[in-house]
Amino acid sequence: MTTAVLGAALSSPADLIALKKRALQALESGCTRLVVCGGTGCTSNGSRQVLDALNAELAARGVPLVADLLEEHPDGAVRAGFGGCSGFCEVGPIVRVFPANFFYVRVRPQDAAAIVERTVLNGEPVEHLLFSDEATGERFATRDEIPFYREQAGVVLADCGVIEPEDIRQYIAHEGYRALASCLFGMTPEDVVREVTDAGLRGRGGGGFPTGRKWELTRRSEASKKYIICNADEGDPGAFMDRSILEGNPHAVLEGMAIAGYAVGADEGYIYCRAEYPLAVQRLRVAIRQAEEARLLGERILGSSFDFRIHIKEGAGAFVCGEETALISSIEGRRGMPSPKPPFPAQSGLFGMPTVVNNVETLANVPRIILNGAGWFRSVGVPSSPGTKVFALTGDVVNTGLIEVPMGATLKDVVFKIGGGIRNGRKFKTVQIGGPSGGCLTEEHLDLALDYDSLRSVGAMVGSGGLVVMDDSTCMVEVARFFMQFTQSESCGKCVLCREGTRRMLEILEKITSGRGTVDDVGLLEEVAIAVRDGSLCGLGKTAPNPVLSTLRYFRDEYLAHVVDGVCPAGACQAFRHYSIDPEKCKGCTLCAKKCPVGAISGELKQPHTIDPQTCVRCGVCLDVCRLGAVVA
């Protein structure tokens, strides 16, 4: 999209309103829109091929295609394009049909003919592409009827999967940049900060620091230059919230940054996005270029005296750069390592200047708050944590994907109503929340409200919003080892307690899971974890022991079973498995003996075989290759 399509750059709020009316009329003109999920999950599962097949089928049928929504098109014309993530990753690729609002799941290129024939030409749903409830067999034609979405509240994700992220006019049709115009032409910077403060918006990237307070500190700092930084360095295993927002609605983040810049007196911003998010980076670049061409970024925005430019800095994937001072160091061209605080970035941040650092989701909330008011935002969630929170729901749950729920929603509702319960009929065991910096929530926490203060009271944290659900086949000692391996390898090494403490904790956890641990090791592990928590330099180091401390708090019996009883209660740790062969089932095919890497299996052809427990290294190869179920673990 270029300014030639707009006709001219927008030079006033009136121009913005006029464009909004034109774009909205085009979207609601009766033209059929096929919006294919263009998020990373669906794209990796073949949604590009689905879009190509749809366009090819439409062309083959002679259906007029809409190349540009604002251009005149004949009745019956169709537009097929990419939207953002619709959230329900478990059933992708997803295709949404507007204005009929049909919601198609698990779409394949070969389904294009049926979609064009039944839906585009005849206005009917394609039955086999509708979501079907496995328990009841009921099919749902629209998105909001599906149980996965019933308990959700769309604010940040409201436009993801609805608009095409690489067309600024569709964002404008959905009230885009109207909040920025309201700030520039109807509010003072103090008014903007006050509105965000009154809304109670807390940082969605970790500890939940009040956003308005951070803005006010930066606004009051005297300096010749100030900056806004969007922290998009999302590195937690199992987390993809910020990524999906950037891919599905990048303009919401750009608008939030511009509003923040106006509020604190900054004229320049940086988006720090990890290079492993190429689609997010691509869509950000397109969005920035379009906003500049429309005069919604750059000099004299909408004809005002306010200037604001945004740059993209691609990070190299260091987990520690999620910490704000390490991120600032990386933008400055130095190694990403945390710095002591104070001074805080609000006082001395990027290039020594006052800087606001907010994460993607925080900034995406800002335009909605300005448009609808602090009272509207506080009407959702709980008093101490207003608004909604986006979570990535993954693991041993039936419905995985991206969800947005009111702050204060219970863990039970998320796992069993939205998530559909545990896979394969197994029993719920725990949820790891907040990634490597978070903690475990157990069955006793199912009624716990998911908000900052409630989670902190049980030794967990919201973090960036990753929710990894685990069933009763999960070993919690192994879970702690997994996360400790991640944090140890990602430690920047600047402070001794984090660098050496995480290494020592990992060694102890490896010793326990390999069957060599002792009771003293459990005590030492806890002692080291507390020391690292209390003495590390930055927030990442201080929270690195959380998986250890929370599993020790709620699953100490599993640690003791490993070191005292010599068993892994979940049967997950290979070192505690003892393999044998049932002579009644073994037919002497010799396959297990041939595959055993250490020659621990012996026996004659067509005679029952045996495993030497002293030689066996418990690799499990024999169990995997036996076709008769004769190997027992």
Please give the CATH topology (third level) of the domain spanning 175-379.
Rossmann fold (3.40.50)
Instruction: Give the global pTM.
Output: 0.90
CA-wise closest residue to 331 among 366, 355, 297:
355
Instruction: Give 6's pLDDT tier (boundaries 50, 70, 90).
Output: low
* CATH number listed for the domain at residues 476-565: 1.20.1440.230
The C-alpha atoms of residue 119 and residue 102 are separated, in whole angstroms, by 9
Tens of pLDDT along 529-541?
A: 999 999 988 888 8
Tens of pLDDT along 236-262?
A: 777 788 999 999 999 999 999 999 999
Q: Domain 577-633 belongs to what architecture?
A: 2-Layer Sandwich (3.30)
Instruction: Give 340's pLDDT tier (boundaries 50, 70, 90).
Output: confident
The C-alpha atoms of residue 243 and residue 256 are separated, in whole angstroms, by 16
Q: Domain 23-143 belongs to what architecture?
A: 3-Layer(aba) Sandwich (3.40)
What is the SS3 string spanning 148-166?
A: HHHCCCCCCCCCCCCCCCC
Q: How is residue 89 written in tokens?
A: 């990753």
The C-alpha atoms of residue 354 and residue 231 are separated, in whole angstroms, by 16
Region(s) of the chain under CATH 1.20.1440.230 = 476-565
How many residues comprise the chain?
633
**DSSP characters over 14-83:** HHHHHHHHHHHHHHTSS-EEEEEE-SHHHHHTTHHHHHHHHHHHHHHTTPPB-S-TTS---TT-EEEEEE
* CATH number listed for the domain at residues 382-471: 3.10.20.600
Region(s) of the chain under CATH 3.30.70.20 = 577-633
Instruction: Give 167's pLDDT tier (boundaries 50, 70, 90).
Output: very high
Region(s) of the chain under CATH 3.40.50.11540 = 175-379
What pLDDT, on the 0 to 100 scale, is given for residue 597? Answer: 93
Residue 513 pLDDT > 90: yes
Q: Give me the torsion for CA of 217, 220, 221, 226, rounded to 10°.
A: 90
Q: Kindly report the average pLDDT of the chain as a whole number.
A: 92
Residue 104 pLDDT > 80: yes
Q: Which residues pair with 270 in a beta bridge?
A: 229, 311
Question: In 3-state terms, what secondary structure has residue 471?
Answer: strand
Mean pLDDT of 318-344: 89
Region(s) of the chain under CATH 3.40.30.10 = 23-143
Mean pLDDT of 79-85: 92
Q: Which secondary-structure segment (H or E) carries 309?
A: strand 309-315
Strand 268-274 relative to strand 309-315, pairing: parallel
Strand 139-140 relative to strand 131-132, pairing: antiparallel
Instruction: Give 7's pLDDT tier (boundaries 50, 70, 90).
Output: low
CA-wise closest residue to 381 among 408, 400, 355:
408
Tens of pLDDT along 21-54?
A: 999 988 887 789 999 999 888 998 999 999 999 9
The C-alpha atoms of residue 485 and residue 241 are separated, in whole angstroms, by 23
What pLDDT, on the 0 to 100 scale, is given for residue 5? Answer: 47
Residue 136 pLDDT > 90: no
Residue 299 pLDDT > 90: yes
Region(s) of the chain under CATH 3.10.20.600 = 382-471
**DSSP characters over 99-160:** TTTEEE-S--GGGHHHIIIIIITT----GGGBEE-TTT--EESBGGGSHHHHT---STTTTT
